[in-house]
Amino acid sequence: MSLETPSTTNDGAATLLADPRFELMPFDSFGEQMGHLPDGAAIAVTTSPTLGIDATVEWTETASEAGYEVIPHVAARYVRDRDHLDAIAGRLREAGVTDVFVPGGDREEPAGEFESAHDLLVALEDLEYEFEEVGITGYPEGHDFLSEETLAEAMERKEPYASYLVTQLCYDPETILEWIDTVRDRGVDLPVEVGIPGVMNYQRLLGISKKVGVGDSVRFLRKTSGVLGFIKELVGSRGQYAPDELIDGLAPHAADPHYDIRGVHIYTFNQVPDTESWRLGRLEN
């Protein structure tokens, strides 16, 4: 990959950070964290293994009523059956949602008939409620429990039902770009929302984990083979991580149609004030 001038990097960083998606977990702190976001910001609401999909829908309704653009996670393994999916979709459409993200979900045993994201995507296609955008997951650093072949096959099956990809959290821009190269070589041309960590304080992350028992945040991190990279980054940053190197590595390719990076999806781990302060500071430079 060719070297880029600092001005190109700065322009690319501004493009990536101008209008990101902020992912929030549906904990009690959601409302407070939401208040630190810009008016009308895009908020992705996760499905929590601890709280279930009802909390996702409820916070989606609350955030939408407050004027935010909301992208709920409709995690397949938390939906009981087609009637349950129909009820969820109806509430989301009533709330003005036009964009949903469909992961498989972290639940070990499915709540009902949907074993995978593909199963739910097929069922979603048959509903009377339509969504303009549907996102699916990509794994730049692989998955701890699934082989690369399995992940590739799953993406091939899901692609016809999707309009974009969201990558799981990754700290290495080269790994992300190489993964997009691989996806493009397989014929997948969906635009990519690159998942990046926000500013992350280890002690605060640990506090969140303790509040939710097993720890949704730690469970999320363990899904990817990059969990050791996460630990390394936090240790190397003396307990507080900021994604400057990651953004700078992606920035020169922000406008490249081959990569088709349409923005960043910030995993805030409900640490919005630190992340938003960092983002605004980068936009001022």
The domain spans of the chain are 6-284
Residue 8 has what pLDDT? 60
* Residue 124: both structure tokens together: 């979603």
In whole angstroms, give the CA distance from residue 26 to residue 34: 11
In whole angstroms, give the CA distance from residue 148 to residue 227: 17
Residue 227 has what pLDDT? 53
Output phi, psi for 196, to 5 deg. -130, 150
pLDDT digit string, tens, across residues 145-164: 778 898 999 999 999 999 99
**Which residues of the chain fall short of a pLDDT of 50?**
1-3, 5-6, 209, 212-218, 224-225
Residue 93 has what pLDDT? 97
Counted residue by residue, the chain has a size of: 285
pTM, full prediction? 0.88
Residue 269 has what pLDDT? 85
Residue 213 has what pLDDT? 38
Residue 233 has what pLDDT? 61
CA dihedral 92, 93, 96, 100 (to 10 degrees): 60
Residue 3 has what pLDDT? 43
In order of 217, 271, 277, 280, the CA distances from 202 in angstroms are: 11, 11, 17, 22
Residue 129 has what pLDDT? 86
Which residues are registered as beta bridge partners of 241?
Answer: 200
Architecture of the domain whose range is 6-284 = Alpha-Beta Barrel (3.20)
